[in-house]
Amino acid sequence: MAVLDKSSPPRPAAARVAGRPAVRIGPFSVVWRPRTVLVLGIGLAVLVLAMALNIGRGDFPISVGEVLSVLAGGGDAGQRFIVMDLRLPRSLTGLLVGAALAVAGAITQSIARNPLASPDMIGFTAGASAAAVAVIVLGGGAVEFLGAAGLPVAALVGGLLSAFAIYGLAWRRGVHGFRLVLVGIGVNVTLTAVVHWLLVVAGITEAARAYVWLNGSLNGRGWDHVVPVAIALAVLVPAALLLAHVLGGLQFGDDTARGLGIPVDRSRTALLVVAVGLASVATASAGPIAFVALVAPQISQRLVGSARPPIAVSLVVGAALTVVADLIARTAFGATELPVGIVTAVLGAPYLLFLIARYGREARG
Amino acid sequence: MAEHGVLTPVAPPPVPGSLRRRRLLGLALLVAVLVVCCLASIAVGAKAIPLEGVWHALVNPTGTEDDIVVRSLRIPRTVVGLLAGAALGLAGALIQGHTRNPLADPGLLGINNGAALFVVTGIYAFGVTTLVGYVWFAFAGALVASVAVFVLGSVGRGGPTPVTLALAGAAVSALLAALTSSVILIDVQSLDAYRFWAVGSIAGRDTAVVGQVQWFLLAGLLIGLVGAPALNALALGDDVARSLGHSVLRTRVFGIVAITLLAGSATAACGPIAFVGLVVPHVVRAVTGPDYRWLLPASALAGATLLLAADVIGRVVVRPGELQVGIVLALVGGPFFVWLVRRRKMVAV
């Protein structure tokens, strides 16, 4: 579902796309790709089912059908309270956070042309972790102004600051993808050391609390966590989809992209702002949930068979992955509730390994 | 061969005099700085010991308080720092060479996360709480993780390529980190012990710790250094190396073995120490050029220097407490790395 500008150059897969009809709206055109639509449809179905299951299961079980009827406006008062006030906001937070992380990952991986360059690997969320752990561990005093504003705000401020620091430090007559990654690694290492130091000087209770946050948790998330992520997604995802056609050209390298008429620096800056915004808001709401930003775009790319991570499919896959992970984290171990980030890693990692093994064979033909 | 006069080996073109001078000068300077760092590491600490005292303790100890501090605390700590730093520096140069990726560091093979999981398991399930007790768990974990990464990165028919190794490393690392986290979140006591191991430190390491890892370290140093000429050929690409008569697979397997031994024993002795393996080869390459016969030994020396210098700094900055060497390295090394990236184009491997 690539959004192509009319004047943009033929994409690498042009030979295959040639026979396909294009849907044109104004200056934009969308190539009709049945496989992408199919993957999107299946992804959405899985997502809805996982949401319904996740909302239904718990100490007070509600069947999938009843959940759907409550969402449609039916159900008794008790069910309405449990679904609308307790479980739906948590699941929605998971859905939105997963979607935001996946889109951010798809953008950074495309810009750096490196499957490992997810926002958390290149330091975009390290500032959020450092700020949040500082608030948890140090409490008032030095970080009072951050603490007073609440953990999510502190994490948001920290994440944005670290991202802008990375961008500023990587700027030298334009931001080169490779330099951005390297600077990001440097900043990431530094901020991670700060987190480690805070964990060592902390009392054990604060350290344990900080550790739960660091693993990414959806526990106790309510509507006040849903709204900011929803607003960020509503603004930033359309922007990402509109800018996405540039990514196709950037895949060829800066010089070629410039030769094809793409304003390389401007587009890249805009895309990075979108990615940083999404990743920071998501991390502020639920902590740095591992691996979604890395693995969801890679899974989507292979499901669709495209040359780079597709944004719309990544969004759905990331959301589905996070909601399924939350379902498992909540219910699989009885009374013990794991942070969702642990489950996303345990689910995502073997799948990535499987893909690598298959990819190796495909590549040899 | 020679009698046909066709395949007579041609003498390699002479190394330009200026480069040779620069390499020798750089190496001499490095050794001098390393000696200074060693002496500083013995002299500086909660109890400062003057150089005469250090000399006294080293040459003819008579059992004074200074002698005991030097011989039972400072020297073992310095030796651990020296060995671990050299191992990490060399392992970093090796993995950057084998993956032809200037961003690779030994952590890429999952070594740190494997060691962490086994240490946490040791704490949680077997009640291990001593530094000496951690060593074997950490080493076993490092070994298991790197073997897993190498095997999983090689299952594609193309064998171990830099990209599949990097992806497999990331996936295995994430999985191991998640398992570590779940143990820690279940048991607060494990978290309490683990968080002090996880920062990476050479404080409190005694001769027993050195004794446990020294042979693995020495074997790793030897295997790593011997592979330098083959690594030079590999830098030209797999096909060229093969046509020059090198077995690419054998070179790579020996390389991974050396990296695992080096980084595994360093992590076992000190806990995970980031950054030495990543940044040292970059700095050294600027002086020695890309020839691995120079780059590898110089990286080992520079790694040892960096680790000891960082440890001494950590003892001074937050008196009367200490900042762990892993934290100092990241706090100083991170900005330095950023500066390095900004200053010039990174030399390609």
CATH code for the domain of B311: 1.10.3470.10
Tell whether omega for the bond before B320 is within 30 degrees of 0, i.e. cis. yes
B348 domain-assigned: no
Task: State residue B33's pLDDT score.
Answer: 92
Task: State residue A144's pLDDT score.
Answer: 55
- CA dihedral sign, ordered B98, B103, B107, B113: negative
| CA–CA distances in Å: residue A342 to residues A55, A345, B144 | 20, 5, 21
- The answer to whether the Cβ–Cβ distance between A360 and B195 falls below 8 Å is no
Contacts of A288 in chain B (CB under 8 A): none
Q: Which string of b and e fits A302-339 if b means at least 16 CB within 10 Å?
A: bbbebebbbbbbbbbbbbbbbbbbbbbbbeeeeeebbb
- State both tokens at A172: 């030298």
A350 to chain B, any CB pair closer than 8 A? The answer is yes
pLDDT at position B307 over 90: yes
Contacts of A200 in chain B (CB under 8 A): 195-196, 199, 324
- Mind listing the pLDDT tens digit for each residue in B314-343? 888 877 778 888 889 888 888 877 887 787
Q: How far is A364 from chain B (nearest CA, A)?
A: 7
Task: State residue A42's pLDDT score.
Answer: 92
Tokens 């502020």, residue located? A284
Query: SS3 for A23?
Result: strand
For chain A, positions 153-182, list CB contacts with chain B under 8 A.
169-170, 172, 178-179, 181-182
pLDDT at position B129 over 80: no
- The CA distance from B259 to B223, in Å, is 9
Q: Which residues of chain A, if any, have pLDDT below 50?
A: 1-16, 361-365
Put simply, whether the predicted model's pTM sits higher than 0.80 gets the answer no
B239 domain-assigned: yes
Task: State residue A122's pLDDT score.
Answer: 78
Q: Are B302 and B278 in contact (CB under 8 A)?
A: no
- Number of neighbours of residue A77 by Cβ within 10 angstroms: 7
More confident residue, B95 or A333: B95
B10 domain-assigned: no
- The answer to whether the Cβ–Cβ distance between B191 and A204 falls below 8 Å is yes
Contacts of B152 in chain A (CB under 8 A): 353, 356-357
Instruction: Specify whether the backbone of B10 is left (phi greater than 0), alpha (psi in -120 to 50) or beta.
Output: beta
Contacts of B326 in chain A (CB under 8 A): 193, 196
Task: State residue B320's pLDDT score.
Answer: 75
Contacts of A348 in chain B (CB under 8 A): 171, 174
B163, B181, B192 member nearest A342 (Cβ): B181
B30 domain-assigned: yes
Q: How far is A234 from chain B (nearest CA, A)?
A: 30
- The answer to whether the Cβ–Cβ distance between A364 and B157 falls below 8 Å is yes
B157, B174, B184 member nearest A345 (Cβ): B174
Query: SS3 for A355?
Result: helix
Task: State residue A103's pLDDT score.
Answer: 94
Residue B225 sits at φ, ψ, to 5 deg, of: -70, -35
Task: State residue B230's pLDDT score.
Answer: 87
Instruction: Quote ipTM for the complex.
Output: 0.76
- The answer to whether the Cβ–Cβ distance between B334 and A193 falls below 8 Å is yes
Per-chain mean pLDDT for chain B? 83
Q: Are A82 and A302 in contact (CB under 8 A)?
A: no
B4 domain-assigned: no
- The CA distance from B241 to B256, in Å, is 17
Task: State residue A13's pLDDT score.
Answer: 44
Task: State residue A202's pLDDT score.
Answer: 83
- Mind listing the pLDDT tens digit for each residue in B151-196? 887 776 666 666 677 778 878 888 898 888 888 888 888 888 888 8
For chain A, positions 178-217, list CB contacts with chain B under 8 A.
178-179, 181-183, 185-194, 196-197, 199-200, 204, 207-208, 211-212, 215
CATH code at A3-364: 1.10.3470.10
- Out of B55-64, B228-237, B315-324, which region has the weakest mean confidence (pLDDT)? B55-64
More confident residue, B18 or B101: B18
pLDDT at position B38 over 60: yes
Task: State residue A55's pLDDT score.
Answer: 86
How many domains does chain B fold into?
1
- State both tokens at A301: 């790319």
Alpha helices in chain A (DSSP H): 14-17, 34-56, 64-71, 77-80, 88-112, 126-138, 144-148, 151-170, 177-201, 204-214, 223-250, 254-259, 264-286, 292-304, 311-331, 340-364
The helix (run of H) or strand (run of E) holding residue A28 is: strand A28-31
Task: State residue A210's pLDDT score.
Answer: 86
| CA–CA distances in Å: residue A236 to residues A157, A232, A243, A272, B180 | 18, 6, 10, 11, 35
- For residue B249, the enclosing domain spans 18-343
A189, A353, A364 member nearest B158 (Cβ): A364
- State both tokens at B22: 């620069």
B7 domain-assigned: no
- Mind listing the pLDDT tens digit for each residue in A173-231? 766 777 787 788 888 888 988 898 888 888 888 888 888 888 888 887 888 888 888 99
Task: State residue A94's pLDDT score.
Answer: 92
pLDDT at position B346 over 60: no
pLDDT at position B9 over 70: no
Q: Are A217 and A282 in contact (CB under 8 A)?
A: no
